[in-house]
């Protein structure tokens, strides 16, 4: 029951804070899959950064970044849901194409990142995140 509360709180807490919630994540294990896009440069820049508030968000995976603040950028969408009793799942679309899945543990702030750019789930890696409110 306690973990369900934490998942729910994490899902909706950005609405109750005036500031931004920042997930600053460093790789602990990167996928060696050849299917991970080289455009991300994830091997040389092993980071994931999610910044969100009630209206806007930005996501960076390695060197690849998208943001709702970029009014000239591609059409973007994001959804969040409970992945389990202890995990929050974020889904990201770019130009109506499902691109990224980010699953964050509310227990230890580890995250698994998946890329869906080829139409199937490709693991990018596992990350340790620091969560802050600004």
Domain coverage including residue 25? 2-133
Distance CA 90, CA 67 (A): 15
CA distance 122 to 23: 21
pLDDT of residue 18: 60
pLDDT attached to residue 131 = 94
Q: What is the DSSP annotation of 46-109?
A: -EEEEEE-SS-EEEEETTEEEETT-TTS--EEEEEEEEETTEEEEEEEETTEEEEEEEEETTT-
Residue 3 has pLDDT above 60, yes or no: no
pTM of this structure: 0.83
Condensed to tens digits (0 to 9), the pLDDT of residues 78-93 reads 999 998 899 999 999 9
Q: What is the pLDDT of residues 43-67, one digit of tens each?
A: 999 999 999 998 999 999 999 999 9
Q: SS3 for 31? A: coil
The Cα 116–Cα 129 span in angstroms is 21
Count how many domains the chain has. 1
Structure confidence at residue 134 as a pLDDT band (50, 70, 90): confident
* Dihedrals phi, psi of 46, to nearest 5 degrees: -80, 60
**CATH number of the domain where residue 94 is located:** 2.40.128
pLDDT for position 70: 93
């Amino acid at each position: 029951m306690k973990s369900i509360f934490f998942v729910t709180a994490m899902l909706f807490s950005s609405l109750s804070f005036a500031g931004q919630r920042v997930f600053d994540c460093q790789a602990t294990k990167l996928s060696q899959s050849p299917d991970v896009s080289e455009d991300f440069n994830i091997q040389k820049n092993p980071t994931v950064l999610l910044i969100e508030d009630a209206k806007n968000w930005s996501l960076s995976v390695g060197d690849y970044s998208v943001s709702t603040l970029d009014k000239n950028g591609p059409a973007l969408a994001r959804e969040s849901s409970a992945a389990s009793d202890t995990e929050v799942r974020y889904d990201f679309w770019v130009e109506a194409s499902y691109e990224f899945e980010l699953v964050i543990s509310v227990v230890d702030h580890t995250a698994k990142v998946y890329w869906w750019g080829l139409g199937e789930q490709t693991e990018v890696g596992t990350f340790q995140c620091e969560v802050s409110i600004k």
